[in-house]
Amino acid sequence: MNSNKAIDRLKLILKYGPSFPTYGVCFNLSTRQDQEPKRYGLATDNSGYDIVEENSSDWEFYSGISCYPVPEEIGTRDSAPKWEGEQLEYRVSLINHIISKLEKTPKFYPP
């Protein structure tokens, strides 16, 4: 996935919400999105994970865990809503951070 495609997908997530609300930014970024905003396909590659891992370590709220950069309360990763309240605020902030970085330094991320 190239940076422009990643930016487009991230902006769709911001505008319409995640296609899979029980999953985080990585999975939703790795998911193919159809023409209709709320009609999504299946995960097609792992480049979303690479993009988030590579572009989140300097994010102001970085958890210190490359594969899960969003801070969380211990033991709540699988049970707490990912796209509500404080967790939503973190994810929106992370997405905006990644978009900003990708706009400055375009790159191709292999599937």
Residue 107: predicted pLDDT: 79
Tokens of 7: 């930016």
pTM over 0.85: no
- The closest of 7, 11, 8, 13 to 27, measured between CA atoms, is 13
Return the residue matching tokens 């919400």.
17
* pLDDT at site 76: 64
Mean pLDDT of the chain: 83
Write out pLDDT tens, residues 25-67. Answer: 998 888 755 434 444 444 455 688 889 999 999 999 999 999 8
Could you tell me which of 102, 86, 88 has the C-alpha nearest to residue 28? 88
For the beta carbon of residue 44, count every other beta carbon within 10 angstroms.
12
Quote the pLDDT of residue 34: 46
